[in-house]
């Protein structure tokens, strides 16, 4: 049972709790903008100072001067595996069981096909409130393998697996609500039905305590540009349990997943282990940023990450209640990922008016104000001040203006 912190009831208490925060030093790793309270690290994390330096060095020295020699001399060829190894500790797997490559969408697709082929029978299952990409991937994999596609209600994926086997594509932390899945229970169900789960760790990594191996998980993919702060469009990571990886076949057999890429074999021979799921040339600039950003997690206990996001979320929810706002997120005191979603009929306009005041959150259709509490740099005082801003915007109806209703493409 995780020890929980008291919820601050005044700004002074919030400041006091911040002064005792074991993660407070990590904030200095970030190059944060003055005058902004950034509550969108669950969508795009801000840059660490080390990432900005690494990007500059990689571009100006390793690329401009080192040129093609940098694949060997600057260690570019090992970056995907090295960055993956650093993520391993955050998700409870061995360093050799992860690799960084492609996007979450592509990795979920590769893994779902590989795991479905391994299971040999049963449907491809997804829960109805999953992130859209997961739904599209599940349907596409079912179509490609000429098997049944099953969409079940939220939380019913494990039961369906136990009954019918097959493959379930499922998030550990739901992108809207921040509800946390019960990995052990769902993995148990998968074993019972002879099926498997491809976990989507996008909203979980760097925010909640995940112990994939202990839960019996065998395949997962996750994102690096949210709580891991690698930068816009940075590549995803992928995990496969070492005990099954040799039996798995990637549906996209690229040369970077070959056992010996520079032998230029006409026939594909997969690399040992998880590297067989790498496809093409790694994106070195993004990888350099990711590798550097992960330094901010060095020496950080994952328990402390989760304990802090829960306290920040509890604080937000406690104050939202005084404003009469409903939430779709697990209530105060429950296990929750690193964000909270509050309901408002004009959520888009409210979010825009908050951004105009320097409080950056995001909107998720149709009616959610979503605040992300990235544990390495968000403080209790930030949540307090953001909720003050929300109270002011609502009290004055400042949000009720045509300029805040004008929808941009990215929300």
Ligand X SMILES: Cc1ncc(COP(=O)(O)O)c(C=O)c1O
Residues at the site binding ligand X, with contacts judged by CB under 6 A: 103-105, 131, 133-134, 171, 175, 200, 202-203, 223, 236
The residue (of 220 and 271) whose beta carbon lies closer to ligand X is: 220
Residue whose CB is less far from ligand X, 70 or 171: 171
- The nearest distance, CB 172 to ligand X, in angstroms, is 9
Helix (H) or strand (E) holding 37: strand 37-38
Q: Which of 38, 131, 348, 373 is catalytic?
A: 131
CB of 204 to ligand X, least distance (A): 9
Q: Looking at beta carbons only, is 158 or 222 nearer to ligand X?
A: 222
Treating both helix axes as pointing N-terminal to C-terminal, what angle do 183-193 and 157-164 enclose, rounded to 10 degrees?
A: 20
Least distance in angstroms from the C-beta of 173 to ligand X? 8
Among 40, 186, 200, 314, the one annotated catalytic = 200
Q: Is 364 a catalytic residue?
A: no
| H-only helix segments in 259-379 | 284-293, 302-322, 347-356
DSSP letter for 302, please. Answer: H
H-helix segments, 59-211: 70-73, 79-91, 104-119, 132-144, 157-164, 183-193
How many CB atoms sit inside 10 A of residue 218's CB? Answer: 25
Q: Specify whether 73 is catalytic.
A: no
Closest CA to 220 of 244, 198, 187: 198
If one counts every other C-beta atom within 10 angstroms of the C-beta of residue 346, the result is: 18
Q: Taking each helix axis from N to C terminus, what angle separates 132-144 and 104-119, rounded to the nearest 10 degrees?
A: 40
Q: At what angle do helices 380-396 and 347-356 cross, to 10 degrees?
A: 120
Query: How far, in Å, CA of 315 to CA of 141, rounded?
Result: 41
Distance of CA 118 to the CA centre of its chain: 26
371 is catalytic: no
Cα distance between residue 195 and residue 122, in whole Å: 8
Shortest Å distance, C-beta 222 to ligand X: 8
Shortest reach from residue 262's CB to ligand X, in Å:
28
Shortest distance (Å) from residue 131 CB to ligand X: 4
Residue of 319, 336, 370, 380 marked active site: 370
Query: How many Cα atoms within 13 Å fall on the side-chain side of residue 136?
Result: 6
Q: Which of 236, 238, 181 is nearest to 204 (CA)?
A: 181
Q: Which is nearer to ligand X, 29 or 368 (CB)?
A: 368
**Shortest distance in whole angstroms from residue 199 CB to ligand X:** 10
Residue of 38, 175, 225, 239 marked active site = 225
Look at residue 365 and give its three-state secondary structure.
coil
When the beta carbons of 105 and 367 are compared against ligand X, the nearer one is 105
Between β-strands 149-152 and 124-127, what pairing exists: parallel, antiparallel or unpaired? Answer: parallel
Smaller CB separation from ligand X, 119 or 133? 133
Residue 307: CB minimum distance to ligand X, A: 22
Q: Which of 226, 276, 310, 357 is catalytic?
A: 226
> For tokens 């995780």, what's the residue?
2
**Is 102 a catalytic site residue?**
no
Of 202 and 353, which has the nearer Cβ to ligand X? 202
CB 400 within 8 A of CB 350: no
The tokens for 168 are: 């379930």
Tell me whether residue 107 or residue 327 sits nearer to ligand X (CB atom).
107
200 belongs to the catalytic site: yes
Distances (CA, A) of 267 to 113, 271, 369, 408: 21, 13, 51, 47
Q: Give the C-alpha separation, 268 to 273, whole Å.
A: 15
Report which of 252, 336, 234, 350 is spatially closest to residue 293, judged by C-alpha positions: 234
Active site members: 131, 200, 225-226, 370
């Amino acid at each position: 049972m995780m020890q929980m912190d008291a919820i601050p009831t005044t700004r002074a208490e919030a400041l006091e709790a911040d002064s005792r925060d074991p993660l407070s030093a990590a904030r200095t790793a970030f190059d944060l903008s003055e005058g902004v309270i950034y509550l969108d690290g669950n969508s795009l994390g801000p840059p660490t100072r080390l990432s900005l330096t690494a990007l500059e060095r990689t571009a100006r020295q390793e690329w401009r001067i080192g040129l093609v020699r940098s694949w060997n001399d600057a260690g570019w060829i090992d970056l995907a595996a090295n960055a993956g190894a650093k993520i391993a500790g955050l998700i409870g797997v061995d360093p050799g069981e992860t690799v960084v490559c492609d996007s979450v969408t592509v990795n979920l697709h590769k893994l779902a096909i590989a795991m479905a082929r391994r299971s040999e029978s049963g449907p491809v299952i997804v829960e109805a409130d999953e992130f859209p990409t997961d739904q599209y991937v599940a349907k596409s994999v079912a179509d490609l393998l000429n098997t049944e596609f099953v969409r079940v209600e939220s939380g019913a994926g494990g039961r369906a697996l136990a009954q019918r086997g097959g493959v379930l594509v499922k998030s550990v932390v739901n992108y809207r609500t921040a509800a946390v899945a019960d990995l052990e229970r769902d993995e148990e169900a998968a074993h019972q039905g002879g099926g498997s789960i491809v976990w989507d760790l996008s909203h979980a990594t760097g925010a909640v305590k995940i112990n994939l191996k202990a839960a019996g998980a065998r395949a997962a993919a996750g994102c690096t540009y949210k709580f891991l702060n690698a930068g816009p469009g940075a590549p995803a990571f992928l995990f496969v349990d070492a005990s099954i990886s040799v039996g798995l076949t990637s549906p996209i057999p690229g040369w970077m997943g070959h056992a010996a890429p520079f032998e230029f074999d006409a026939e594909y021979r997969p690399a040992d282990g998880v590297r067989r799921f790498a496809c093409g040339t790694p994106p070195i600039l993004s990888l350099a940023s990711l590798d550097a950003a992960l330094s901010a997690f060095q020496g950080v206990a994952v328990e402390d990450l989760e304990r802090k996001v829960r306290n920040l979320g509890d604080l937000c929810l406690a104050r939202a209640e005084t404003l009469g706002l409903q939430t779709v997120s697990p209530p105060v005191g429950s296990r929750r990922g690193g964000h909270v979603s509050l309901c408002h009929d004009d959520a888009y306009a409210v979010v825009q008016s908050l951004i105009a005041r320097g409080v950056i959150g995001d909107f998720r259709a149709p009616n959610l104000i979503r605040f992300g509490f990235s544990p390495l740099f968000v403080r209790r005082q930030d949540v307090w001040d953001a909720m003050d801003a929300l109270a002011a915007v609502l009290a004055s109806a400042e949000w009720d203006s045509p300029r805040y209703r004008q929808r941009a493409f990215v929300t």
